[in-house]
Amino acid sequence: MQLTRSAGVLLHPTSLPSGKLDRDAYRFVDWLEAAGQSWWQVLPLGPSDEFGSPYRSPSAFAASSQLLAEPDARVTAREVEHFVARHPFWTGGWAQFAGEGALADQVRFEREWGALRDYAAERGVRLIGDLPIYVADVGADLEGWPELFAHGEVAGAPPDALSATGQRWGNPLYDWPVHRATGFRWWRERFRRTFELVDLCRIDHFRGFVSYWAIPARHSTAKRGHWRPGPGAELFRAVEHELGDLPLIAEDLGHITPPVRRLRDELGLPGMVVLLWAFRRRGSNPHVLENHRANSVAYTSTHDTDTAVGWFTGLRPRERAATGLDPGEPHWGLIELAYGSRAALAIVPAQDVLGLGSEARMNRPGRSEGNWRWQLEGGALTPALARRLLELAQQHGRVRG
């Protein structure tokens, strides 16, 4: 997929002042329009786990009822029947797992999300979703299709710059030969559902489709895992054959090898660069500005990193000076670098627009508690901030025509 030159803001709906798809969501869309933004990026929309993580959802298909502005809105039996008729693959299993009222909540979500999406589209704002590679260890997917999952090992990531002991996510791993034997039906249906809800989607942990880190279930950290081969292009071709061109962004961060880059490029998917990492080493570092590819997405920071200001504050004085950023506004320096990048799409988390520190960080990888809690203060995204972003977007050719 080839992206057009544009810009957007990352803000999960739970981070809206109300945390709901209510008037705050519509006000945010209005602010995005005023700021010349073409995209609103969110995190996964499924129900979160007990720690609030949307990346460990009990359903790969259902949307979160916690986002509903009107959770008690009337839903008729006919509406539920119509929804089930359009989603026969997964609704039965979700109803069995989640209980009475679960499908009515999906109807409510479809109403609210559809109305918000239409409102955004009328203002030139499209939606970027996020697809976790894995499902929860307790949920409707594992209960409904146990044959699709392997046993004895769990998912995670090896030790890296984000975590010295790696990340033990604990999600079940896929039995890829079984998926292949079904023609990747579960994945075809999962992507179909995803593209009902968003215009473009970041696919999390893309490298796991080439090879993935398998951790013995009895181990408490990810240090002693090992690599196993993933399905590669075969999965995506099967989905593509049924659904057509796949509007995806490959999250190609972390331990990226040449085979991962080859798969990304073979599929024609844009990858990601993060400007917090552009000052570490030069050479082949893909995050350095001069190494950015046109078919990519440039982020100032992500939901898994510190904020721009938090990162800058944590640098040693010599390191801060070496960045060349204005110590008074390092976040705006990074935003301008992102907008000036040759990367087609520039995404800035709302925390970086606001210049917030580490207290506003969304997630700390490797920790289960204390994440996913940050919320925007009402009125924080001011008209002045919108004008400043708009001016940058105009200056760097990122405003829609």
Catalytic residue annotation: 204, 251, 304
Six token digits for residue 66: 């916690």
Coil, strand or helix at 220? coil
The strands making up 211-216's β-sheet, listed across from edge to edge, are 167-174, 149-157, 211-216, 226-229
| HSE value, Cβ hemisphere, 13 Å, CA-based, for 391 | 7
CA torsion 252→256→257→263, rounded to 10°?
-10
CA distances from 101 to 71, 80, 92, 164, 304 (A): 10, 10, 12, 43, 33
Nearest by Cα to 32 from 398, 288, 315, 280: 398
CA distances from 390 to 32, 34, 70, 102, 305 (A): 9, 7, 33, 41, 25
3-state DSSP percent of the chain in helix, strand and coil, to 5:
40, 15, 45
Q: How far is CA 225 from the centre of its chain?
A: 25
Classify residue 18 by its DSSP letter: S
Classify residue 159 by its DSSP letter: S
